[in-house]
Amino acid sequence: MLQLNITNEFSRLRAVVLGTAQSNGPTPTIEQSYDPKSAEHIQAGTYPTIEDMILEMEGLAKVFEKYQVKVYRPTQIENYNQIFSRDIGFVVENLFINANILSNRAREIQALQYVIDQIHPQKVITLPQEVHIEGGDVMPHGDYIFVGTYYGDDYSSYITARTNLAAVTALQELFPEKIVKPFNLKKSNTEAHDNALHLDCCFQPIGHGRCIIHKDGFLIQEEYQWLVDFFGPDNCFNIDKDEMYNMNSNIFSISEDVIISEKNFTRLNSWLLEKGYTVEEVEYAEIAKQEGLLRCSTMPLFRD
């Protein structure tokens, strides 16, 4: 049986699912895109090539190998985007939760069936259909589960709104001993600079009580302030709108002290080094064109 254990974003990683770009299919049309940033690059003719995305993902796989992390990859579905494994499922404590994601992406979970088959059936949770949830919005943090969501009555009009309030209730029922803390995120179907697709697009905790955060990703300033007060202002690395757009909060921790980051995140990486973290820099700028980065393409299964 495959053991699961995830209680935060930064304890020592032992096992992870890493997506794949091996058969990503042709560049989608604008109508087929799921987010404004992809649409922007489709329109500009700068959408990433499969070759570039494979190179970037294999560079990330090498870092996991360096730190002896067990890596699972999805089985290949021909001509299908399987990069962002974080969206399709996630682990909290010792439960694997099947995410309810966009119907166009429903096949992605089938490619992980061989992993799910190794988990005790009672530890695999499938939520009701009306519960919309994606792993990029869910962050276990000790006694808390932070959840990105969208409170508006016009939820259904946003393809960028992926986690609804029913998901917050479902997590409260699954984990009654935890404080499930929702955050109302800014959404836009058309302007990538104004869209926090998931919570990890505008916030992420890292080791030693610090976090990366973007104030304008949050619709309610009191909720942003709650996080600043929770971590302490000196422990928050505030990113600007361009840095959010480039996915600076979407890095990935292998441990409290080791963080994988994109090599172009010069201001963030300098700050991390200054604070004593080991920064493993990788090239991931092509994958970032699809409004996802390192956290989005990984699904941790076990941390110490």
DSSP 116: H
The reply to whether 27 falls in a domain is yes
The reply to whether 125 falls in a domain is yes
- Asked if pLDDT for residue 80 goes beyond 90, the answer is no
Q: What is the DSSP string of 216-255?
A: GGBSSHHHHHHHHHHH-GGGEEE--HHHHHTTTT--EESS
Q: Which of 188, 187, 206, 183 is nearest to 265 (CA)?
A: 206
The reply to whether 216 falls in a domain is no
Confidence of residue 276 (pLDDT cuts 50, 70, 90): very high
Mean pLDDT over 219-242 rounds to 98
Confidence of residue 251 (pLDDT cuts 50, 70, 90): very high
- Give the distance from CA 136 to its chain's centroid: 3
Task: Indicate left, alpha or beta for 6 from its phi (over 0: left) and psi (-120 to 50: alpha).
Answer: beta
CATH number, position 37: 3.75.10.10
Confidence of residue 241 (pLDDT cuts 50, 70, 90): very high
The reply to whether 34 falls in a domain is yes
Q: Which residues contact 158 (CB under 8 A, 6 or more apart)?
A: 150, 152, 187, 188, 189
The amino acid occupying position 279 is V
Number of domains in the chain: 1
The reply to whether 40 falls in a domain is yes
pTM of structure: 0.95
- Asked if pLDDT for residue 104 goes beyond 80, the answer is no
Domain that holds residue 92: 13-200+284-303
Q: 205 and 141 in contact (C-beta within 8 Å)?
A: yes
Q: Which of 70, 66, 71, 90 is nearest to 6 (CA)?
A: 90
Mean pLDDT over 193-208 rounds to 94
pLDDT at residue 23, rounded to an integer: 84
